[in-house]
Amino acid sequence: MFADAATEDFFRARLDHMIDLRHSLAVLASRMPWQQIEASVAHLFSRKAHAGVAMSDLDLFGEAPAPVGRKSNAGRPRVPLRTMIALLYLKHAFNLSDEAVVQGWSENPYWQHFSGQAYFEPRLPCDATTLVKFRRLLGEEGVEELLAQTVNLAVSLELIPASALATVVVDSTVQEKAVAHPTDSRLLETARAKLVEAAQGAGIELKQTFAKEGRLLRFKAGRYAHAKQFKRMRRVIKRQSTVLGRLVREIERKAGGLSTAVRQALSGALAKAQRIADQSRSRKNIAGVSKLYAWHAPEVECIAKGKSRTPYEFGVKVGIAATLKHNLIVGARAFIGNPYDGHTLRNQLEQATILMQDTGHKPTTAYVDLGYRGVDTDNPGLAIKHRGKFKTLTTQERKLLKRRQAIEPIIGHLKADHRMDRCHLKGEQGDRLHAVLCAAGYNLRWLLRMIAKKGVPFLRRLYLRLCKTVAPSPNWARMLRKLAVHAFREPAPPLAAL
């Protein structure tokens, strides 16, 4: 073991002495505006008074200072805010689960340096469930701030000109929910099992739970469907619906003598079960009632995108806005209820404008596909270009229209590399958070690639200034050329130019 004179710990070396500071993640860690990010989201984690709960340290004049020496009942110290934000960035940048990113952090010195650690820590930064609570507290406002800072950083590092933010490409895709394929047989069996579980939790004794028969009926329905014996399959589904109806009526009868709180707790499960039973009897939607495609995710919509391999996708529609030439995402928003693409354009560009406000630019031209026709009057001040206006476009605009297709691989990377292919977060809020975090992870990887490809502009300017102001000897010239090759990943000026 050796002692490092530059560290506060006698037995350990600092992380910045252990890693290659030319690594793109190390460079990005030094350029991220961490203080600004923390300040912008800190108010989301302030202590709030809950309705009906008395707070001893609040009086008529605000929050009273805690007396010195009083024992705190707050629990363990809070995980540093920068560490939690860095974990969210890394999770979606490298396509990892909550458990995997926490485990990877304990093994990767570059990740720990990115999150602000001074020394290597071979421990977990937090429990994986802490990320769940942190996301919920951040909310949509907080995750949009994380996305906005990646856009600001790309402009401040001169990796993209600020004027390029004025021209965007907008498209929509489906963010699928983590649900099983919603067949009638599966939904009816799930509803039966959940209804029995809810009744037993409320203390209702059922005459029969139909557990064995329900499992056999589900197996039969699957086999008949595989054999394309649909008349027999429908007969099995009808029996499943009958069983579910009997359970619903029995629970309603026996719940009459229970307390109001218990009846309210059962009402949600009974309503879902009745809804599934009704929709299994008809292929069409009941007037004013949408179909239920998952017991645990009632917000899931059935969206048809015209794909031959997947005619229907079950999730939520997500709009993506990216720059036309540099493939940087400047907006991502989930739209609940499967709206028409054109009706999402205004909200999508409104979000992009808010995220770009620190750069002083906003979208003025949008290149879209034919799904966004007929919404020019809803978006005043915005030039909408698509193939339907081909005759009225200039030659330059026709060339730029061909770049619209570049958003398709961006969506592909979001799904394959940044976890947008399947959303595991709960509820409508989970869909909104997940879409923005996937875009933030994509932008972080984009920044890492651009730093490795172009280098950091302020270091390049320092290098060129040294070349001009210092009259170097041949040894100086060789040193500067090595600096250019290793630090910037680009050719250096010839020796004669120095």
DSSP per-residue letters across 137-191: HHHHHHHHHHHHHHHHHHHHTTSS-GGGGGEEEEEEEEEEBS-----HHHHHHHH
Closest residue by Cα to residue 272 from 249, 298, 246? 298
The count of C-alpha atoms lying within 13 angstroms of the C-alpha of 350, restricted to the half-sphere facing its C-beta, is 9
Phi, psi angle pair for 122, to nearest 5°: -80, 55
Alpha helix ranges (H) inside 49-108: 81-93, 98-105
pLDDT of residue 423: 95
pLDDT > 90? residue 50: no
Mean pLDDT, residues 300-317 taken together: 89
pLDDT given for residue 107 in this prediction: 94
Tokens of 336: 């609940």
Per-residue pLDDT at 5 exceeds 60: no
- Please check whether residue 211 is in contact with residue 196, taking contact to mean a CB–CB distance below 8 angstroms: yes
Q: Say which residues have a Cβ less than 8 Å from residue 355's Cβ, sequence separation at least 6.
A: 144, 147, 148, 151, 330, 331
Overall average pLDDT of the 447-465 stretch: 72
How many CB atoms are closer than 10 A to CB 344? 21
pLDDT at residue 108, rounded to an integer:
94
Q: Pick the closest to residue 217 from 231, 235, 229 (CA basis).
A: 235
Q: Which two tokens stand for residue 149?
A: 């800072």
Greater confidence (48 vs 428) lies with 428
With 60 as the cut, is the pLDDT of residue 308 above it? yes
Give the pLDDT confidence score for residue 173 in this predicted structure. 95
Q: Is the pLDDT of residue 231 over 50?
A: yes
- Reported as a single tens digit per residue, the pLDDT across 202-216 is 889 999 999 999 999
Which candidate, 459, 465, 447, places its Cα nearest to that of 484?
Answer: 459
d(CA 274, CA 254): 17
pLDDT of residue 454: 78
User: In the chain, what percentage of residues exceed pLDDT 90?
Assistant: 68
pLDDT of 288: 67
Tokens 């977060």, residue located = 425
pLDDT in tens, 352-389: 999 999 998 999 999 999 999 989 999 998 999 999 99
Q: In this structure, what is the dihedral angle of CA atoms 360, 366, 367, 373, given to the nearest 10 degrees?
A: 170
Q: Which residues pair with 177 in a beta bridge?
A: 423
- Mean pLDDT, rounded, for 67-81: 68
Tell me the three state secondary structure of residue 316: strand
User: Does residue 242 sit in helix, strand or coil?
Assistant: helix
Amino acid at 240: Q
Q: pLDDT tens digits for 275-295?
A: 999 999 887 777 667 899 999
Q: Is the pLDDT of residue 497 over 50?
A: no
Q: What is the pLDDT of residue 239?
A: 96
User: Residue 397 above 90 pLDDT?
Assistant: yes
**β-bridge partners, 50:** none
Structural contact between residues 117 and 413, judged by C-beta atoms closer than 8 angstroms: no
Query: In this structure, what token pair is assigned to residue 260?
Result: 């109001």
Residues 320 and 41: their CA atoms lie apart, in Å, by 23
Strands of 372-438, DSSP E: 383-385
- What pLDDT is attached to residue 2? 43
Residue 395 has pLDDT above 80, yes or no: yes
Is residue 214 classed exposed, middle or buried when 0-12, 13-18 and 19+ CB atoms within 10 A define those classes? buried
From the number of C-beta atoms within 10 Å of its C-beta (0-12, 13-18, 19+), residue 164 rates as middle
Q: What is the pLDDT of residue 480?
A: 57
pLDDT tier at 417, thresholds 50, 70, 90: very high
Q: What number is the average pLDDT over the span 447-456?
A: 84
